[in-house]
Amino acid sequence: MKFDIPFSDRLASSIDRKESRLVVGIDPRLDRLPAELASLDPEEALTRLGCGVIEAVAAEAAAIKPQIAFFERWGWKGWRALEAVCKSASEQELLVILDAKRGDIGSTAAAYAEALLGEEAGPPGPFVDALTINPYLGSDSLEPFIQRTNEGGRGLFVLARTSNPGGAEFQSRPGDPEPVFLQVARASEKWGQGSMGDCGFHGVGLVVGATHPEEISRVRECAPSANLLIPGVGAQGGSVEDLGPAFDARGLGAVVNSSRGVVQAFEKNTELPWQEAVQKAARETRLQLESALTA
């Protein structure tokens, strides 16, 4: 599917329409399913969990973020489930940010772009609005993906400063004249030149972890026109109260991901049906984000 409206404008519209900066990450583990799904075949379990989460959070989230590894783990059954989940989100008017972190060169990168941002049925591409990608093979490795932002209205989120403890080993080494993550942030402004939306942001965003709040403002200075995808809130220790520099005066420019804190909410809130527990957690997280922005 090609989009006539740039990804950044579709994201801004979803944020405004839902009054939400929340992205719900779907990382389905079959050893942590609601009881009523636990005995299902992997394909059906993945599909019913993913589609059930989408139904629960559709009014609370600006987007969902399926993690492709948890589907690939189950082979062709997982791929069919992933397509069904992405299609369900599209039907519920939820943007789909596919978390695949792909990065390669030449024809291999082009094949990844075809599968994950393409238009052929079978892979999830027709139902994917944006994709996470790895820039560490250089700008030429991103060209097939950037072409999709310029010509097809898709979006990208390029890994810059990740939320894992080992991220600093290469992304922010002591003694570097400029940390690698800031070099990536500066480059994103060039990569996004052909996909600028009316909202003032382009289609090549950046992944910046909530676990490094002091660095978010540095990224924003280097990349004023890039949307930020911010993981690490909740289970990983990031705090929504520290994320103000990511947003502009309109509350645009970033979305915040919560995965386990929303999707596994049924494990703590056992008195509610599992979808109600997920919906409640999504609503609470959305409102917490809104409150932090207006504080």
Range of the domain at 269: 7-294
Instruction: Calculate the CA dihedral of residues 189, 11, 258, 92 and round it to 10 degrees.
Output: -150
Residue 96 falls inside a structural domain: yes
Residue 2 falls inside a structural domain: no
| 18 flagged as catalytic | no
Give the pair of three-digit tokens for residue 74: 């189950």
Convert the pLDDT of each residue in 171-204 to its tens digit.
777 877 888 899 999 999 999 999 999 999 999 9
Tokens 């703590």: give the residue: 268
**Local confidence band at 236 (pLDDT 50, 70, 90 cut-offs):** low
Overall number of domains in the chain: 1
Rounded Cα–Cα distance for residues 137 and 150 (Å): 21
Q: pTM of this prediction?
A: 0.95
Q: Treating both helix axes as pointing N-terminal to C-terminal, what angle do 42-57 and 75-91 enclose, rounded to 10 degrees?
A: 20
Instruction: Mean pLDDT check: name the lowest of 62-71, 93-102, 211-220.
Output: 211-220
Catalytic hit among 77, 87, 101, 280: 101
Convert the pLDDT of each residue in 248-262 to its tens digit.
999 999 999 999 999
Give the pair of three-digit tokens for residue 201: 């942001």
**Local confidence band at 222 (pLDDT 50, 70, 90 cut-offs):** very high
Count the Cβ atoms, other than its own, within 10 Å of residue 92. 15
Q: What is the mean pLDDT of residues 227-244?
A: 73
E-strand stretches of 68-175: 95-102, 130-133, 155-161
Residue 42 falls inside a structural domain: yes
Residue 1 falls inside a structural domain: no
Give the CATH number of the domain where residue 164 resides: 3.20.20.70
Q: How far apart are the first and last CA of the chain?
A: 39
